[in-house]
Amino acid sequence: MGGVETVHLGGPMREALVILGAAAVVIPLFHRMRISTVLGFMLVGVLLGPSGLGALAGQAPWLSAVTMYDRERIAAVSELGVVLLLFMIGLELSFERIVTMRRLVFGLGAMQVSACALLAGGCAALLGVAPTGAAVIGLALAMSSTAVVVQVLANERRVTGLVGRASFAVLLFQDLAVVPVLFTLGVLGRDGAAGWGAFALAVGQALAAVVGLVGLGRLALRPLFRGVARTRSPELFMAACLLVVLATGLAAAAAGLSMALGALIAGLLLAETEYRRQIEVTVEPFKGLLVGVFLISIGLAVDLGRVAAQPGAVLGAAVALVVFKGGVIAALARAMGLRWSVGVPTGLLLGPGGEFSFVILGLGAGTGLIGAELAGFAFLVAALTMATIPLLSRLGARLAGQRAAPIDPGLLPPEMEDDAPRVILAGFGRVGRTVAALLDTHRIPYVALDNDAARVGAGRQAGRRVYYGDVMQPELLRRVGLGAARALVVTVDDRVRADAVVRIARAERPDLMIVVRARDGRHAAQLYALGASDAVPETIEASLQLAEAVLVDLGIPMGPVLVSIHEKRAEFQAEIKAAVPGAPVRALGQTRLRRNSDLAAGLTAHPKPETRHAASENQV
């Protein structure tokens, strides 16, 4: 029986058990108690960390199976969570939107980092910290948490609001500023002009890397996903998504940038492609779980013993950081033209420390610019304040109230056009393209989905709003605006897929108008039973069109022909619905009949057969 390896519940297996247990058991419990999942993951880290139940493992050895001691053991996985989060943010943005936000990114963001670094560093210097140590403290505490802030805003559905976009503009500049900050600390850790020369060389290398990533991405990403999409394999599509995230992240890291920034660039490039929505649906589960790992790692960093030993100093520093840093941000936002109802909530969200605070403090301690004791104290303050972000977000929302906050439209971009389409087309074959053309004629906004890469690519080249994706995925339908759409038109020619889409959409939206292409009367009856508002049988419609052609060619006036055709359609529809138990017969056929009766009253001439043929040729 050789070859069977005994697995011990230790090392990475223990961490995996704790993380999966938190995601499957503890977090749903917090959710039921209406505790933010962000705060819940952090509390799991505190509870199961070295200063929580881990401290009791000596007296109760069984606790060692469900506790964690070393934050560094999950550091790589937690960093990947931040990378995926930035990748998803990039998918929700575009280079055009960032250009539109440039005044806030390079205006408010630059002023925030400079002012907060000077404020925190100045306070540290007044308390007796050496100038280099004070500089490290200032730069570290000037940073905010992209991972926690964006996750909280996403949970509260405020990412695209004024506060969400203002916060992200500042966070984006902070992510960009990390590169020169880290190199500056490296220079401060050395002496001589060689350090500054290396700094200039590294900055140039970083800029070249960004340009290279953008250029290579524009050339390679769309063909890569087109080739993978043609296989129609979910596994290969998932592999391609993860490959792009890791490859761009590692390429950026090799050039001295952060992996998160490289993933953000990849997301920005893919946001302009037809694969954007399916990528979001594919990556979201990984992102959610791995961001949870990052939040658990923050909880592990909280030393409850030190808090208990120095409650006044630790809590006082944490409160001071949030109050003064948040106040500076709110004041700068007001100076940039934002209302207080935007600046104050933004200040509260960005007041706490961030994940890059830990990176800067670790580098400062490693190069000897700051003592290990002082770095640990600042590390604890940053971690504690990050745990309060969900509460501060709620406080900011209450202080701002529901009042409108008009601002200069040049500061923040408008909402995306296709976030709330009036019609969703499930399928973009011949039938779907015909429906789309008529919607375009009447200027009705829509978004279309199809799983044929070539068909989607042709639609994008024609300027249509069509995305690649599997219409049977509920999350994909939500991503394209199912919650706000007025109608769903299902044009797929696969009976099983059409039934599935109707079932999913009706469960999501009981009030949604759902119009479906059916094979025949029996299939239409089944679709009505599943919740379709209207089902259009192909065989019946073909027979009605044939009858219309014969009657007109025989010289029957167009008005009476239209009336009789619609009467027959209403009769078929009533028969189909009568076969569905408990299905009400809608008045759609009768409404069409009344409209065409009015039309018939005005059509008394007998059109010649050739007239009808000429009209048909013009329509074709």
- Contact between 106 and 314 (Cβ < 8 Å): no
Higher pLDDT, 404 or 122: 122
At the second CATH level, the architecture of 71-195+287-400 is Up-down Bundle (1.20)
Q: Which CATH number fits domain 418-541+564-587: 3.40.50.300, 3.40.50.720, 3.30.70.120, 3.40.630.30?
A: 3.40.50.720
**Residue 607 banded pLDDT, cuts 50, 70, 90:** very low
**Residue 581 banded pLDDT, cuts 50, 70, 90:** low
**Residue 199 banded pLDDT, cuts 50, 70, 90:** low
pLDDT at residue 392 greater than cutoff 50: yes
The b/e string for 578-603 (b: 16+ C-beta within 10 A; e otherwise) is: eebeeeebeeebeebbeebeeebeeb
Which residues have CB under 8 Å from 61's CB, separation 6+? none
CA 8 to chain CA centroid, Å, is 38
Q: Return the pLDDT at 576.
A: 77
Domains 71-195+287-400 and 418-541+564-587 share a fold: no
In angstroms, the CA 171 to CA 264 distance is 12
- Contact between 489 and 462 (Cβ < 8 Å): no
pLDDT at residue 414 greater than cutoff 80: no
Higher pLDDT, 608 or 177: 177
- Contact between 229 and 49 (Cβ < 8 Å): no
In angstroms, the CA 147 to CA 42 distance is 13
pLDDT at residue 418 greater than cutoff 50: no
- Contact between 489 and 518 (Cβ < 8 Å): no
Average pLDDT over residues 604-615: 39
In angstroms, the CA 248 to CA 41 distance is 28
**Percentage above 70 pLDDT, the chain:** 83
**Residue 119 banded pLDDT, cuts 50, 70, 90:** very high
- Contact between 515 and 423 (Cβ < 8 Å): no
Q: Which value, to the nearest 10 degrees, does the dihedral of the CA atoms of residues 107, 112, 117, 122 take? A: 110
pLDDT at residue 238 greater than cutoff 60: yes
**Residue 420 banded pLDDT, cuts 50, 70, 90:** low
Strands 513-518 and 487-490: parallel
Q: Return the structure tokens found at 411.
A: 């500061």
**Residue 237 banded pLDDT, cuts 50, 70, 90:** very high
User: H helices within 420-466, ranges in order?
Assistant: 430-441, 453-461
Q: Return the pLDDT at 186.
A: 64
13-64 per-position pLDDT tens digit: 777 777 788 778 777 877 777 777 777 888 888 888 887 777 777 777 777 7
Q: Return the structure tokens found at 450.
A: 């199809």
Q: Return the structure tokens found at 122.
A: 């100045």
- Contact between 75 and 15 (Cβ < 8 Å): no
Which residues have CB under 8 Å from 501's CB, separation 6+? 426, 471, 472, 477, 488, 490, 492, 516
For helices 276-300 and 75-92, give the axis angle rounded to 10 degrees.
Answer: 140
In angstroms, the CA 278 to CA 288 distance is 16
pLDDT at residue 265 greater than cutoff 60: yes
- Contact between 273 and 225 (Cβ < 8 Å): yes
Q: Return the pLDDT at 92.
A: 75
Find the range with the poorest average confidence among 80-84, 234-238, 561-565, 571-575: 571-575
Higher pLDDT, 423 or 70: 423
460-489 per-position pLDDT tens digit: 988 889 999 999 999 999 888 888 889 999
Q: Return the pLDDT at 582.
A: 55
Average pLDDT over residues 154-175: 81
Q: Return the pLDDT at 187.
A: 61
Q: Return the pLDDT at 198.
A: 64
Q: Return the pLDDT at 551.
A: 81
Question: What is the DSSP secondary structure assignment for residue 360, as one 8-state letter?
Answer: H
Q: Return the pLDDT at 54.
A: 74
Q: Which amino acid is it at 100?
A: T
DSSP states of 506-528: HHH-TT-EEEEEESSHHHHHHHH
* 3-state class (DSSP) for residue 585: coil
Domain borders along the chain are: 71-195+287-400, 418-541+564-587
